[in-house]
Structure 1
Amino acid sequence: MIDPYYSSQQDSLSEHLITVNSKNVKVRSSKVEINNSPKYQDVWATVIYVLVVLITLVIAGISIPHMDTDKLCDGCKRKRNSSGNSTSDMIIMLSACLISSILFTMIYMVLMQRFAGKMIIGTFIISIILNLIYAIITFFINFIMGFVMIFFAFLYILCFFLWRSRIPFAKVMLTTVTTVTKKYPATIFFGFMGCLIGAIWYGIIGITLIASITYFNELIGGTSYVIYVFLLFSFYLSAQVINNTVHVTISGLFATYYFCGITQSGSNKIQVNVKNPTLKSFKRAITTSFGSICFGSIVIAVFQTLRALAQSAKNDAQEDGNCLLVILMCCIECILSCISDMIEYFNVYAFTEVAIYGKSYCQAAKDTWELCKSYGIDAVINDSLISNVLSIGSLTIGCLSAVIVIVIGFILGISNAISFIIYGIIAFLMGCMIFSVVAQVINSGVATTFVCLCEDPETLRYTKPELWEKIKDTYPSVLI
């Protein structure tokens, strides 16, 4: 059994064997080879994250039992008593929210796979129209901001005309990635598990934050602010670790597909001689690569925490009427936001390097920078084209789910307008959330396939010649 975990090769063309249908297939590779003994990377970062989690649990164990829940319980009772909807209607409506969201997401996935090119063009045009509408609305609200938004709307139109030649390659990438997700539905499962674990942990931190502010403020005084900052950092760090673990898991699967997937002779089917590749990738993500995940997550969590503190200071300054401090905090918040967004985007490809090669975070960041210098603009354009499809898809799924739920509400005879609004919002948010899981999987797959292609296109030529020919026709510069 081959463990598809790769390490960089600096020498000339190398060869390795992959077993397909009980036959050894010799595959030529220019830059990678199988790494059967990956090392634990950035262990110190894992220790820091574990300590953060443990301290968070300690704070939760101390503060939550002392939280005053009487008012909250009374409010919940009043809401239950004032509700005119039966329990059965609530179950039906919530089930409709879930089922419609999943069904529409599956349909959208099929459409992306079969009509990728048309959907990229169509969603880009829809995005331009929405940007123009938003710019016009903003123009009537604020004259100066209106001109700024109109400028960005026309900039988006310019991008469309400049990037039209890149659409065929984005089509190939989107079709390939959706095909892999269909072949390995476990990718979606791990995405949902990440959302579920995240929701539970975020809820614990949120309750702890509310309880600790009151309890520690009354008990110790100013120390409550230190605890507030720590819990804020814990929240951002946990969010990054969970999301990045899912990303590394999915990236590992796509790397396995890229390097070990062999086109069977006489058919277009691709066989991967690795049992449960998604599970194997997940095991690596939570063991040998977990330290690298924690390292990169700590970096971005620090900037996100500082940005949140700057925003809080700005709000306090607004209440005090301190204009100078408001301007200063706005500038700091803007700078931190830009840095945070750039690092977060950069981390997507850095963690892809971690998933493929098992590198330390610093080494992955260094290699990602080299990749960005060579193919950075291509990655941005490719991501932008595909992200349009996913963004419009999220809004579409949310709106369709809300419409279906409202129709079912009419059929059930629900007459309370507030209930319709609540169920509509729930359906919309649930549709967006479920589709966001699929979007994360697709984004991870696109990033991984792009990195593998840029670093080692020769492997694709020998393992998937048909796909290699398509890329040769749509993005020939990467094969040079």
Structure 2
Amino acid sequence: MSGYYNEQPRPYPPPNQQGEAQEFYQQQPQQQAYHAQNYPPPDDGPLPPKAGETFEEQFAIEKPKFNDIWAAILWILTFLGFIAVSVLALRGYSRSEKTSGGGIYDGNAEFGLTTNTVVLFAFVLVVAWGVSLLYLLAIRTFTKQIIYISAILNVVVGIGSAAYYFYRGYYSAAIVFLIFAVLYAFCFWTWRSRIPFTVLMLRTVISVAKSYGHVFLVSLCGGFIALAFSAWFSVTLVGIYVRWTPNSSNTACREGGCSNGKVYGLIAFSVFAAFWTSEIIKNVMHVTVSGVYGGWYFSAGGSSSNSPPSHPTLGAFRRAMTYSFGSICFGSLIVSLIQMLRQAASVAQNDAAQSGDIFQYILFCIASCIISIIQWAVEFLNEYAYSYIALYGKAYFPAAKATWNLIKDRGIDALIQDCLINPVLTMGAVFVGYLCALLGYLWLEFTKPSYNERNTYTAVIMAFAFLIGLQIANVFLNPLKSGATTIFVAIAVDPQVLMSDHPDLYGHMLSVYPQIQQAVHV
């Protein structure tokens, strides 16, 4: 860490010029940095670290128990239901292969989604995984430049895609992509003053990831799991269409039970299960990485009485998959339900655009915006609650309440609002989604599958391609978001550790963000 800070050209104020915050800390003994605060600790948990060598010992839970176990049971039942639907759908798909096409150009296809769609989703998955990995490596290598690269790529690809869709006459997609491009351009212009602080925090996150724990390994493993699950979901989605679409040519319907209502219902259930499972994958990674950054903040400083815990990644992962798994399922369930509403509004918006109903298009556009704001608020709270859960092992609601109170009482909300790590990484994920959606559209245009002669499935396939790319990219980038989130939560728990154990980081914060003295109420 010190090597990175020594490379920074901007000096920070010496100790006698750092204002009231420095004067406050000069009054505190430095031998036991963590336990020397004058303000009360949180009411609902002991403050780590304790004496010990492992993560479980230093961040011990006084009365360990399996929290929110009902949510874990509900997810297990949902996942078993998804497995059952998948088995039935794929069995029916295998029986109907002759009528669902045998390759990219599905010359023998007679109804519904076909093997062409399976191959398309396979390409989408490979592109999403590959581009996400390259983007992660670019962040690791070009930490400062990636902020500008992300913004430029989003705007250029968004405008380019919109222009192409206008040229091809697909106006609904063109308008959506153009709005996103203009919005990101405006946001980046207004974010300029916050870039130096964001660069500092992102470099700190990357530096810790390189030297402590196995953050990039977590990202890579999570990416593989997300890829495998997305492939399974994509094949299941096509299998549902093939198995239960009512058509005289559908050999699977000879057993009965085919109807459009069943297709829509099973797709809705499968999408919900996929959303929920994907959120759980991301949040297990989040809790795991939060343990790594919590160990670094509280125990890796020069004046800390504890040495860094051994195997922090494995210890935090164990907690995520045992005592905290129910809480992870609970928070993920809330986000998944909101995502379902947003997806429904998006599909309805595309249908209204294709039918030329301007009133419904505007109505569903407004609904999508409102749902997006709600989703942002819930995901924001979840991120910080899960970092607290990683260190304290609390249930979901107590952790969310305690985290919110900490952030507000310590004034960390001001720091969070001025840090652009999450928006920048989200821009990167949206860029991957753009590419996947464009790939889906080009695939349909050039292969011309029989099921899409009237562009019936264009909006649906583009939406799913975008979501697949977005989800895989979010999984890849999630550990970096988790690192920044955990640092902010740790600062809220004990700002003194930042001063005493990480003076270089605090000094450079003062240099690029002097408001930290007022933002952190100590």
Q: Shorter-normalised TM-score: what interval?
A: 0.5 to 0.7
Distance in 2 (CA, whole Å) between partners of 1:360 and 1:379 is 23
- The Cα of 1:60 is off from its aligned counterpart by 1.2
> Is the counterpart of residue 256 in structure 1 residue 295 in structure 2?
yes
1:226 aligns with 2:226: no
Question: Residue 64 of structure 2 is aligned with which of 13, 21, 38?
Answer: 38
Structure 1 pair 254–244 and aligned structure 2 pair: CA distance change class (3 A): same
> What do the CA deviations read for 1:117-140 (whole angstroms, capped 9, x no partner)?
xx48xx45984797599789989x
Q: Count the aligned residue pairs.
A: 400
The reply to whether residue 175 of structure 1 matches residue 213 of structure 2 is: no
Distance 1:103 1:365, change over 3 A: closer
Letter in 1 for 2:237: L
Query: 2:417: which partner in 1?
Result: 380
Code of the residue aligned with 2:192 in structure 1: it is F
Kindly provide the amino acid, as one letter, of the partner of residue 346 in structure 2: Q
Residue 282 of structure 2 contacts residue 475 of structure 2 at CA under 8 Å; is this kept in 1? Answer: no
- In the alignment, structure 2 segments of 5+ residues that lack a partner are 1-40, 108-125, 246-252, 436-446, 448-468
CA-CA distance at 1:244 after TM superposition: 1.2
Q: Quote how far apart the aligned CAs of 1:312 are.
A: 2.8
- Seen in structure 2, the aligned counterparts of structure 1 residues 174 and 327 have a Cα distance that, compared at 3 Å, is closer
CA distance in 2, matches of 1:155, 1:101: 23
Aligned twin of 1:184 = 212
Partner of 2:91: 65
How far did 1:194 drift?
1.4
Q: 1:452 aligns with which of 486, 490, 497?
A: 490
* Alpha-carbon separation, structure 2, partners of 1:190 and 1:15: 23
Query: Structure 1 residues 68-77 or 147-156, which shifts more?
Result: 147-156
Instruction: Report the Cα offset of residue 38 of structure 1.
Output: 3.0
CA distance in 2, matches of 1:128, 1:321: 32
Q: Tell me, yes or no, if the aligned pair for 1:349 and 1:451 is still in contact at 8 Å.
A: yes
What CA distance in whole angstroms lies between the structure 1 residues aligned with 2:91 and 2:153? 52
- Partners of 1:102 and 1:434 within 8 A in 2: no
Higher strand share: 1
The SS at the match of 1:288 is coil
Match of 1:415 in 2: none
* Structure 1 unaligned regions, length at least 5: 1-7, 21-31, 80-94, 400-417, 419-430
Q: Secondary structure at the match of 1:341?
A: helix
Q: Measure the CA separation in 2 of the matches of 1:61 and 1:136.
A: 40
| Amino acid aligned to 1:229 | A
| SS of match in other structure, 2:394 | coil
Give the whole-Å Cα distance in 2 for the aligned partners of 1:160 and 1:150. 16
Distance of 2:133 and 2:160 partners within structure 1: 34
Q: How does 1:61-460 map to 2 (within 5 A)?
A: 61-67=87-93, 68-70=96-98, 74-75=102-103, 106=137, 108-112=139-143, 116=144, 119=145, 123-124=147-148, 127=151, 153=185, 156-161=188-193, 163=194, 167=196, 169-184=197-212, 186-217=214-245, 218=253, 219-220=256-257, 221=259, 222-263=261-302, 272-318=307-353, 322-373=357-408, 374-382=411-419, 384=420, 387-388=423-424, 439-460=477-498
* 3-state secondary structure, aligned to 2:102: helix
Contact kept? 1:263, 1:271, Cα under 8 Å: no
Could you say if the C-alpha distance between residues 388 and 76 of structure 1 is closer, same or farther in structure 2, counting changes exceeding 3 Å? closer
TM-superposed deviation, 1:45: 0.6
CA displacement at 1:349 relative to structure 2: 1.7
Q: CA deviation at 1:206?
A: 2.2
Q: 1:330 to 1:394 in 2, by over 3 A?
A: closer
How far apart, in 2, do the equivalents of 1:331 and 1:100 lie?
31
Greater mean alpha carbon deviation, residues 199-208 or residues 445-454: 199-208
* 3-state SS of 2:64 partner: coil
Check the 8 A contact 1:38/1:358 in 2, yes or no: yes
State how far apart, in whole Å, the 2-side matches of 1:147 and 1:385 are.
Answer: 22
Instruction: Say whether the 8 Å CA contact 1:128–1:156 is kept in structure 2.
Output: no
Q: Is the 8 A contact 1:350 1:368 kept in 2?
A: yes
Amino acid at match of 1:259: F
TM-score (normalised: structure 2)? 0.63
1:194-233 deviation digits (Å, cap 9, x = unpaired): 1211221222222222222342354333333222211111
Equivalents in 2 of 1:62, 1:11: separation in Å? 47
After TM superposition, give the deviation of residue 242 of structure 1 in Å.
Answer: 0.8
| Residue pair 1:249, 1:278 contacting (<8 A) in 2 also | yes
> Aligned-pair distance for 1:479?
5.9
Structure 2 distance, partners of 1:433, 1:303, is 15
Please give the alpha-carbon distance, in whole angstroms, between the structure 2 residues aligned to 1:148 and 1:19.
Answer: 50
